Amino acid sequence: MNQFRFSRRPDIGDKVRVSFEFFPPKTDEMEARLWDTVTRLEPLKPKFVSVTYGAGGSTRERTARTVKRILNETTLTPAAHMTCVDAARHEVDAVVREFAEMGVKRFVALRGDPAAGVGTAYRPHPDGYANGAELVGALKGAGDFDISVSAYPEKHPESPDFATDFDMLKRKADNGATRAITQFFFDNDLYERYVEKARRAGIYIPIVPGILPVHNFTQVANFSARCGALVPAWLAERFEGLQNDPQTHALVASAVAAEQVLDLVERGVSDFHFYTMNRADLVFAICHMIGIRSHETEVAGSAAA
Ligand code: FAD
């Protein structure tokens, strides 16, 4: 039972590090929700927080504005996502310079999804970076940046086989990536096997699990189908019948994610990247369970003791 394994290791919070992913808000209302989330999660002192970048640079300004605000108004360290879709090299390089001048030292370097949509063939810009590995090389040449890249425990949907995927991940590592962050997954065995295979393929950078708390099971199931992530039958069963019961849905989601993370801790994983969907509650609860507490929580806890 996870809770017994966990209670034997009370120092766990000292060993676990987390990072959080946000997306740039589109509306004033979404912006307010993002900043509530950032404010709530900031005291957990994540290693970094990343801000996604729309394919084709569609969110360039919003990503930049969000990153700038994080730099100026919080104690957090931002990482800017970058993609290569529909952009010439000089355009990508200019965005990198813009971020660097702002004070950004971390990037998440991605090729991005095909401009015509997931499932269509990817066509690199004729003067652009063709894939994640080429972008990593360009970033490394532009400065001493911390660079995260993507990894796919269930294989990238466009990739013919795992060997092609590992070849790309190795190229990204060889070009200077600091760590890989995985696509979300729900079966920890898949992740563990993937990491073992990566090591055998000569890839030694940390492969940080990307954890997606299930805010809305129906949406997650649809999204998983598009990005090739398996939704196990047991997961569907847990959320069955909860579409119109948001409170129970949230309780179950928190239990599911905590179970997944605690099991990974038990398997020796110490770094986690949370896809927050710009919502704090589930992530905050899961962090609490793995021993990551805000200063305020500790103070409140010791006052009550
Ligand atoms: P790469 O690392 O270049 O390639 C991934 C795999 O696809 C390779 O291993 C290779 O096997 C295969 N592949 C690549 N090119 C081809 C090709 N031409 N033909 C056949 N196979 C090929 N998307 C966004 O738009 N914005 C974001 O901010 C963003 N953030 C992400 C963060 C994380 C942690 C992850 C895991 C994904 C993110 N994505 C984001 C999604 C990502 O852009 C897509 O999955 C995209 O399809 C691949 O980008 P990549 O960098 O993984 O590609």
In the reported structure, the alpha carbon of residue 123 is separated from the centroid of ligand 1 by a whole-number distance in angstroms of: 13
Domain range for 289 = 12-304
Within a domain: residue 49?
Answer: yes
**CA 239, CA 250: separation in Å to the nearest integer?**
10
Return the pLDDT at 5: 55
In a domain, 287, yes or no: yes
pLDDT of residue 227: 84
With tokens 């879709």, the residue in question is 85
Return the pLDDT at 170. Answer: 98
Which atom of ligand 1 lies nearest, measured to the CA of 124? 18
What's the gap in Å between 305 CA and the centre of ligand 1? 48
Give the chain's domain count: 1
Distance CA(272)–CA(179), nearest Å, equals 12
Ligand 1 centroid to Cα of residue 113, in Å, is 6
6 domain-assigned: no
How does DSSP classify residue 61? H
Q: Is the dihedral of CA 218, 42, 24, 272 positive or negative?
A: negative
Cβ of residue 52 lying under 6 Å from some atom of ligand 1? yes
Residue 167 DSSP code: H
0.85 surpassed by pTM: yes
- Are β-strands 146-151 and 207-208 bridged in parallel, bridged antiparallel, or unpaired? unpaired
Q: Is residue 7 part of a domain?
A: no
Here the CATH number for the domain that contains residue 94 is 3.20.20.220
Q: Decide if 239 contacts 252 (C-beta within 8 A).
A: yes
Interior/surface letters 132-154, b for 16+ CB within 10 angstroms, e for the rest: bbbbbbbbbeeeebbbbbbbbbb
Is the residue at 5 inside a domain?
no
- Provide the token pair at 196: 């073992």
Active site residue 91: no
pLDDT tens across the length of the chain (305 residues): 444 555 445 566 678 999 999 999 999 999 999 999 999 999 999 999 999 998 777 788 999 999 999 999 999 999 999 999 999 999 999 999 999 999 999 999 999 988 887 778 889 999 999 999 999 999 999 999 999 999 999 999 999 999 999 999 999 999 999 999 999 999 999 999 999 999 999 999 999 999 999 999 999 999 898 888 899 999 999 999 999 999 999 999 999 999 999 999 999 999 999 999 999 999 999 999 888 988 655 544 444 43
The residues near 15 (Cβ < 8 Å, ≥ 6 apart) are 270
Q: What is the pLDDT of residue 304?
A: 43
**DSSP H or E stretch at residue 165:** helix 162-174
